[in-house]
Structure 1
């Protein structure tokens, strides 16, 4: 790739304006950084946050203090690498569909900035980083991490055969709800299972919000989604999914015997989710994208409550 405007490629419509990739990265790097979604960090945030929830809940449950900074940092590196790897794999599989959708036709592969073979080599490099991170944990956590690959591998095909691809994405993206607990205890418990369920419902909700942007193009391309399936009732369905997320998160906090700060974090999380439902307008793609991105803040509110609760238990 040469350092030229054509190599740099167009700025993608769902990337935040003025992001670091489009503003500062060398032009030859930009297609690869876009494949990894470095220009759209919301993806790795949403993959990371269930890991942090679970790590904080596990630390709080045994009274060992706040979650380890090293553990949180490893999950962050792993989330960035594996979000990038998953997105690159998805773009390889979806390259023909992406050419038919306005929002995705300028992605690196369908626009010709990167070949599928080049993307496959880049995918392997990102998987190598993710593997190096995973090997820092105990054997049970390593095995748990590998198990998630089943859902990662099948997800790109789901939009072709079912109206519930968001459910499969939830099974993959929520896996961190198990990982934080597994890394701490070398086993799973009901709090981890409940957090996983909460994160699945949350993911299905926010990805339905995200899919609202593509409704018209998805109909033309034959892409299935919960946003299409729910139709005029999408707002109510998203609200129900968010309610399930709140209920399961409450069950996790209760089963882990956490304290008041965890519940305060849950209340803040719930308030944010219901604010999203209140302002969502089905046909407004710009509002849908803004609300989708705001889920980083929702997830951080719950994490802050869980981490603070774990910290005060040592006082």
Structure 2
């Protein structure tokens, strides 16, 4: 059982949950100006983790025909058969059910809206088959995170959470473009759509820069509308430095540092954002 759980965690890259959870907690603190009811926080976190697990499982299930052909993914547990296709789909369905159940524990509005999140999680992997701007579909998934937190805690959508959602959307879309740079030639060969495959590496990097500039703009607006203070805005300067560093690692003729840019730097961005939000609120 432990070995199977390890395989499932490897399948969905469970460690990458760090990209989303800090933003979930930051949303909670911004809305409550402190820590709310711990039971609500618990169900919000369960919903977020279940949603991300479902999304990754749907992604691996629908991408299986491509992953089997891609040399980069030849050792993935979904390709080797260590986790069967039926198991992947079952994990996606069970995780979706946990998401819906968690939303039900929060309030009726969250419960009624939860299928929208699941629909987006399914559309993203399918979107690679029909739109070059599939990265924005993934961005839409992250957009609804702070919006969903607002619904869960307030029963309504605060404007600051809309701006935070937009900031997260363009942040994720930008680094998803970086991730897609690894497979430009393969994607063109098999018909997978993406900005890098359509516009080339050089223009794709420009798209990512524009998206991350918009991230900065929307995070500034989040701070203004949430009435956050100087620590928050100082934190945005620090985060901007990390984003600039991330872009300095990616060059048209040198993609060897994509993993550092994608995993390490973005992990710091999400965690530091949460730290600066909480510090600002308590100071």
Task: Return the TM-score normalized by structure 1.
Answer: 0.81
Q: Give the number of aligned pairs.
A: 281
Deviation per CA, 1:57-110: give whole Å up to 9, x if none: 2123xxxx3456555554443333222221111221111111121222333333
> Which segment drifts farther, 193-202 or 74-83?
74-83
Question: Helix, strand or coil: the match of 2:95?
Answer: helix
Match runs of 1:87-236 below 5 Å: 87-231=56-200, 232-236=202-206
Aligned position for 1:20: none
Question: Helix, strand or coil: the match of 2:172?
Answer: helix
- How far, CA to CA, are the matches of 2:102 and 2:64 in structure 1? 29
Aligned position for 1:48: 21
Unaligned runs of 5+ in 1: 2-24
**Contact kept? 2:53, 2:95, Cα under 8 Å:** yes
> Which segment drifts farther, 220-229 or 197-206?
220-229
Task: Return the TM-score normalized by structure 2.
Answer: 0.89
Aligned position for 1:33: 9
Distance 1:34 1:228, change over 3 A: same
Select the residue among 281, 292, 301 that pairs with 2:262. Answer: 292
- How far, CA to CA, are the matches of 1:148 and 1:280 in structure 2? 31
Unaligned runs of 5+ in 2: none
Aligned position for 1:269: 239
- Give the Å deviation of 1:165: 0.8
Which has a greater percent of helix? 2
